[in-house]
Structure 1
Amino acid sequence: MSALSWWIVWLVALIGHAGLHIGIYNRINGFGWPRVVIKSIVKFFLLTTIAIPILFCVFQGQVILDLLIHGGTWSSLSLWARGYVTLCCIIWLVLGIPWLMWRPIFRLEWVDAPRKIEVVDVQVAVRRPLALSGKAKLESKLPLNQLLELSIEEISLPVVGLPDELVGYRIAHVSDVHLTGDIHPDFVKHAMQRATLWKPDLIALTGDIIDKQPCIDWLVDIFHPANAHDGCYYILGNHDTRVVDSRQTRDAMDRAGWIDLGSQAVRRMIGGIPVSLIGNEFPWFERPDLPPPDDSFRLLLSHSPDQLGWARRNAVGLMLAGHTHGGQGRLPLIGPILSPSFHGSRYASGDFYKPPTTLHVTRGLGGVHLMRINCRPELSLLTLSQAKVHQAF
């Protein structure tokens, strides 16, 4: 092989190495395993991300340099080096090509949902310091960080199979509040005020409310003022398991006047018709047991978009999810890279359709990581409309 061919091989292998580890990171974080187990696995693969290139430099550095300058044959490399380079090249086929196909720019499975976006600097709007911890004070001032810039997005969402009675129905969707104590609760309170001022028919909160035990005391003050004609519903997510007893979070939300939809299904008269409202907190809590599909429209609150397959099998018409934070950061054209999901960054945020389910994934309001690059926190204000199947793509 020529020297140029080896340059191409090493570039492909290096990207494949990074893609392999990013793919592992994304999918490991989609499991409902105990946090200590997931963190241990993530740390191990972070170590191998750095250690493997170092091993190549230490044990194969001179060989690689000769190949890049003079060219040569595969036999110049040791057996383990040939094996790993081959694996990294195969990753391009297994993960790389699908990853490229599902970039947002190609809009595969995306719904054409027009958005009217208003960006609010909440730090200016509330007129009090929102960064409470030293970490938050430092990171909120870093260039490009959109941590406190709330994107209020009015979305006209076409839903296949939407009943006539629900055309124009308004849902305020929030997720991933992540009360850690780093950011003042007025940030979330401002988002809920804006949601209520919009006069939605229903407010949906799809999990990850609490990260730190003392923040449970904030919940009633934040969420009690919220109001919607057909009620305010919530479920929990993986971070809500980090407190001593998640029932304390549920009790506080109940006192705030919100309806716990976690791991259950209820029928409500909405728009004059029966609608099944379903909560899915799996894999961190139990999935609900559903009766066979009937003629009622099914609206699902799921913490993770990974439950899309379950939603489709259970004839869910509209699914609302969070969990992925839009990837925390998005590159121009390429979009998100990191996303804790079995699907990688495929459903990191946006509006999608896989028959018979329309899926809306919000970027959420907060996070334990206080950096948001080209990925503002999101308050989704959804107005539902009817769509034919061919209009959903």
Structure 2
Amino acid sequence: MPTLLFYAAFAIGEAACIVYAINIFHSYPWRVRWTERATLVALAVLGVVSAELTRRYWMTPVSEWPPALVAFAAGCCLMALVVLPAATFARARRMRRSGSVEGERRDSLLQDPPESYVGGGRHAWMLRLPGNTSRNLESRDWSVPIAALPEELDGLSILHLTDLHFSRAYSRRYFEAVFAAAADMPADMVCVTGDLIDDPECIEWIEPLLSGLRGPFGRFAILGNHDHHHDVDAIAAAIAAAGYETLDGHVVTTEIQGRRLAIGGTCAPWGPGIPDDAIPHADFSLLLSHTPDLVYKSARQGWDFILAGHNHAGQVRLPVVGPLLMPSLYSRRFEHGFFRVPPALMYVGQGVGCKHPIRYGCHPEIARFTLRCVPPVAPRARIARDRAVVEPIYQES
């Protein structure tokens, strides 16, 4: 029995190491083929070591194993018995933290038969997998208290869409229904945080779909890493034709109710970042960042509210454990929901589409935020708040 427990711990720990390595590989701005090759190399190396460990497990006493193999097995067991339970506990604890943002969640796209949303593209068959929720769009309405918000901007609303991933795996009708649902959530501003295209044939969808949304105080978009795998100039031109301003590593300002609002956008590390000296003085600042991995740098720069995507909330979420695969330098830390990294508040959206449209325990979403001014924080409370660590103040279980 002890040997079986040892081998089970090794197998679980090795799987966790593989997942973590894949998450890290996919956070770097490598070309797709290099990312895939690095992933395959990692899987191959770990597979060979695993096969050798299995062979020695049955044929050779542990005392006769090479030191390197013993160290690898011990590391995998440590991952399974200590690191993975600790990370799971920390995730559960973060989800229970107080200060949740009030919101309402609604189902959308119920008026059409699900089959009408399946296209004829390469990965369309995935949409027909039993239990796949990739076509079960949810709309979320949030009332977001922000201490830095001037009173004149109280009630400012922002519609957020991210990770559209236009491709022929979905029918165009699916995205038409998504944007119809978004149009039923009117807002002062519209923000799209990247990854619009997975199929170059769908670039022509951008203008007619995005142009249907209204934003009296502005419509803004950024690109994502998947957009950089295609014709970036054509994508940016289609976004501009739809009436949006594409923010690619720069900041614009606008005046609303006599207050100056700074709006920046970046899809770094795949595109240009925003230099510290490029951020103008403003009464309130909003950053569109494709990946949430920039949150620490962005918080140091002083952004008040950050909208991000990229992670798709993991797409497949297991009970208790949560998501496994997530293309982030921080792995599962910023899976989805609200996170506070003083002085910034960040929201990570679950996305609308996927290159590989598989979702279990994770719905696509669109979100609207109504910003609310809150009374000034007392000096002692402000000190305690500023010393706080990264804290998700809302996450869906």
Question: Does TM, scored on the shorter chain, surpass 0.5?
Answer: yes
Q: Which moved more, 1:337-346 or 1:138-147?
A: 138-147
- Take 2:43 and 2:288, find their aligned partners in 1: how far apart are those partners? 33
Contact 1:304–1:321 (Cα < 8 Å) also in 2: yes
2:270 aligned with 1:284, yes or no? Answer: yes
- Take 1:311 and 1:91, find their aligned partners in 2: how far apart are those partners? 31
- TM superposition shift of 1:108: 7.0
Deviations 1:55-93 (A, max 9, x none): 2223432347xxxxxxxxx41434343121122234459
2:358 aligned with 1:371, yes or no? Answer: yes
2:38 aligned with 1:12, yes or no? Answer: no
Q: Which residue of 2 aligns with 1:86?
A: 74
Q: Is the alpha carbon distance of 1:40 and 1:160 closer, same or farther for their aligned partners in structure 2, counting shifts above 3 Å?
A: farther
Contact 1:152–1:380 (Cα < 8 Å) also in 2: yes
2:138 aligned with 1:138, yes or no? Answer: no
Q: Which residue of 2 aligns with 1:235?
A: 222
Which amino acid is the alignment partner of residue 88 of structure 2?
Answer: L
Q: Which residue of 1 aligns with 2:33?
A: 36
2:244 aligned with 1:258, yes or no? Answer: yes
Q: Which residue of 1 aligns with 2:388?
A: none
Q: State the secondary structure of the residue aligned to 2:171.
A: coil
- Take 1:104 and 1:315, find their aligned partners in 2: how far apart are those partners? 29
Deviations 1:232-277 (A, max 9, x none): 110001000111x301100011111111112110111134310110
Q: Unaligned regions of 5+ residues in structure 2, if any?
A: 386-390
Q: Is the alpha carbon distance of 1:101 and 1:211 closer, same or farther for their aligned partners in structure 2, counting shifts above 3 Å?
A: same
- Take 2:172 and 2:209, find their aligned partners in 1: how far apart are those partners? 7
299, 305, 320: which one pairs with 1:312? Answer: 299
- Take 2:181 and 2:248, find their aligned partners in 1: how far apart are those partners? 25
Superposed, 1:293-312 pairs within 5 Å as: 294-312=281-299
Q: Which residue of 2 aligns with 1:27?
A: 24
Q: Which residue of 2 aligns with 1:45?
A: 42
Q: Is the alpha carbon distance of 1:336 and 1:185 closer, same or farther for their aligned partners in structure 2, counting shifts above 3 Å?
A: same
Q: Is the alpha carbon distance of 1:151 and 1:21 closer, same or farther for their aligned partners in structure 2, counting shifts above 3 Å?
A: same
Q: State the secondary structure of the residue aligned to 1:140.
A: helix
2:193 aligned with 1:194, yes or no? Answer: no
Which amino acid is the alignment partner of residue 287 of structure 2?
Answer: L
344, 360, 364: which one pairs with 2:347? Answer: 360
- Take 1:57 and 1:77, find their aligned partners in 2: how far apart are those partners? 12
Aligned residues: 379
- Take 1:195 and 1:128, find their aligned partners in 2: how far apart are those partners? 21
- TM superposition shift of 1:338: 1.2
Q: State the secondary structure of the residue aligned to 2:238.
A: helix
Contact 1:185–1:222 (Cα < 8 Å) also in 2: no
- TM superposition shift of 1:329: 1.2
Q: Which residue of 2 aligns with 1:112?
A: 100
Q: Which residue of 2 aligns with 1:96?
A: 84
Q: State the secondary structure of the residue aligned to 1:24.
A: helix
- Take 1:110 and 1:16, find their aligned partners in 2: how far apart are those partners? 32
- TM superposition shift of 1:295: 4.9
Q: Is the alpha carbon distance of 1:35 and 1:95 closer, same or farther for their aligned partners in structure 2, counting shifts above 3 Å?
A: farther
Q: Is the alpha carbon distance of 1:334 and 1:386 closer, same or farther for their aligned partners in structure 2, counting shifts above 3 Å?
A: farther
Give me the TM-score of the superposition, normalised by structure 1: 0.89
Q: State the secondary structure of the residue aligned to 2:137.
A: strand
- Take 2:167 and 2:98, find their aligned partners in 1: how far apart are those partners? 33
Q: State the secondary structure of the residue aligned to 1:149.
A: coil
Q: State the secondary structure of the residue aligned to 2:268.
A: coil
Provide the identity percentage: 25
Which amino acid is the alignment partner of residue 108 of structure 2?
Answer: V
Moved over 4 A (4+): 92-95, 108-111, 134-137, 387-393
Q: Which moved more, 1:376-385 or 1:92-101?
A: 92-101
Q: Is the alpha carbon distance of 1:32 and 1:94 closer, same or farther for their aligned partners in structure 2, counting shifts above 3 Å?
A: farther
Q: State the secondary structure of the residue aligned to 2:117.
A: coil
Which amino acid is the alignment partner of residue 211 of structure 2?
Answer: H
- TM superposition shift of 1:363: 0.4
Contact 1:146–1:374 (Cα < 8 Å) also in 2: yes
Q: Is the alpha carbon distance of 1:304 and 1:109 closer, same or farther for their aligned partners in structure 2, counting shifts above 3 Å?
A: farther
Q: State the secondary structure of the residue aligned to 1:374.
A: coil
2:205 aligned with 1:218, yes or no? Answer: yes
- TM superposition shift of 1:290: 4.0
Q: Which residue of 1 aligns with 2:332?
A: 345
- TM superposition shift of 1:129: 2.0
